[in-house]
Amino acid sequence: MSDVSLTVNGKRVSGSAEDRTLLVHFLREHLGLTGTHVGCDTSQCGACVVHVDGRAVKSCTMLAVQASGSTIVTIEGLADGAELHPVQAAFKEHHGLQCGFCTPGMIMTATDMIARHPEGLDEATVRAELEGNICRCTGYHNIVKAILAASETMAKGAKGKAKQAA
Amino acid sequence: MYSVNYHRASSVADAAKLLKNGDAKLLSGGMTLIPAMKTRLAAPSDLVDVSRLKDLQGVKVSGKTVTIGAATTHYDVSTDEKLKKVCPALAHMASLIGDPAVRHKGTIGGSIANNDPAADYPAALLALGATIITNKREIAADKFFKGLFETALKEGEIVTAVSFTAPAKAAYQKFRNPASRYAIVGVFVSKGKDGVRAAVTGAGEDGVFRSNEVEAALAKSFDAAALDGLKVPAKGLMSDLHASAEYRANLIAVMAKRAVAAANA
């Protein structure tokens, strides 16, 4: 057993867990954050993607104790109160989901992708960057549309803020 | 996963000490080891995490000499601006490993110490004539990769960095398994002061190897046309559900040709 201390969605949390406990299980079972899903459990499907110290990782392939000391953002940490994060809003607007199981991982991957491409995204890049996330319902079209739309909205938002600041 | 004791090393020397615990294994990005532990293919008693050691991280470029810390992630290699200037082929290769989330965790040291027969880095380091630096010695890539999941590393030895001289030209091309993203065949070619080197991953029964046929043809002329009609023997190549040895032999010629074209572009 080890003590695991994390900052999850802005809150400091700690708990005791077996060293073999996976981060995804710690989030779901110890912290009750069940938005992060376990799909394949073999690091292929991406339903478990969360951000660890600002980078998208597969939480089914990391031990909770490995993450101790890190800052984590899960799907529950994106919205600002009742206001959806632009990526969440774009998935809703463009119907980027059907059953919804892969959606938390898709959105966490998308927010990381948009942050890593401040120059903007094109369809080919989005599709290539989604290779670690599997969706069995949508055929990806509306997911790609949603990510492209969110990327534009967020770029405009950033410009607006820069103007305000200036 | 079986029960395991996790330790976070405070230094390379501390990691070497902790490795003496039971059947301990080093943990870096964990992109191979943790899945192997989940399926119980690996069952170490202890894990020694070296991924947070600052002196194992980062890419250093001094003139043409490149040194990459063992715990540098694929993402950090693929996006390093200094590396992109002197050896864009290696940055490009790192960008082709797994998927973005895997590249955020997986490390160069972990990849080469594991020496998966379909991993990308072994081909790159062999073709670049790299040196693997450990806490005990320096090992030439030609002597480091020994076979399937086998390396020259001794018990308790820890890879700390890899180093190489950036070649004049280099490129990597791989034919990926569409599901796993691992190479069915990957070929890394380089042309440096010591001549042409071409290393193949994904294909050999004994893991990564240098292709005599490709190197001999390119030594005459480092040009894609020099590989026209090249026959690579299927002997010693893997046959599995993904591809036969003959298919892989053909892919070696095709990938080598594409790699040379990319290196000359």
Q: A46 and B101 in contact by Cβ < 8 A?
A: yes
Q: Check CB contact of B101 with chain A, cutoff 8 Å.
A: yes
Residue with tokens 């379909």: B118
**Count of domains forming chain B:** 2
Angle between helix A86-93 and A103-116 (nearest 10): 120
Helix/strand/coil for B78: helix
Nearest to B31 among A2, A61, A63 (CB): A61
Handedness of CA A134, A136, A139, A142 (dihedral sign): negative
Q: Which domain holds residue B40?
A: 5-48
Helix/strand/coil for B189: strand
B217 shares a domain with B99: yes
**Residue B178: predicted pLDDT:** 81
> In this prediction, what percent of chain A has a pLDDT beyond 70?
96
pLDDT 10s per residue in chain B (265 long)? 999 999 999 999 999 999 999 999 999 999 999 999 999 999 999 999 999 999 999 999 999 999 999 999 999 999 999 999 999 999 999 999 999 999 999 999 999 999 999 999 999 999 999 999 999 999 999 999 999 999 999 999 999 999 999 999 999 999 998 877 789 999 999 999 889 999 999 999 999 999 999 999 999 999 999 999 999 999 999 999 999 999 999 999 999 999 999 999 9
How many C-alpha atoms does B175 have within 13 Å on its Cβ side? 19
CATH class of A2-77: alpha beta
Nearest to B104 among A55, A66, A129 (CB): A55
Q: Check CB contact of B47 with chain A, cutoff 8 Å.
A: yes
**CATH code of B231's domain:** 3.30.465.10
| ipTM higher than threshold 0.85 | yes
B220 shares a domain with B254: yes
Asked whether residue A166 carries a pLDDT value surpassing 60, the answer given is no
Closest CA to B106 of B180, B30, B36: B30
Task: Give A65's contacts in chain B (Cβ within 8 Å).
Answer: 6
B224 shares a domain with B142: yes
Closest CA to B60 of B46, B44, B49, B76: B76
B92 shares a domain with B149: yes
A18 burial via Cβ count (<10 Å: 0-12, 13-18, 19+): middle
Per-residue pLDDT reduced to its tens digit, A7-61: 999 999 999 999 999 999 999 999 999 999 999 999 999 999 999 999 999 999 9
Closest CA to B26 of B82, B143, B149, B110: B110
B151 shares a domain with B93: yes
B164 shares a domain with B35: no
CATH 1.10.150.120 applies to domain A86-165: yes
Task: Give B43's contacts in chain A (Cβ within 8 Å).
Answer: none
The C-alpha of A99 sits at a distance from chain B's nearest C-alpha, in angstroms, of 22
B76 shares a domain with B14: no
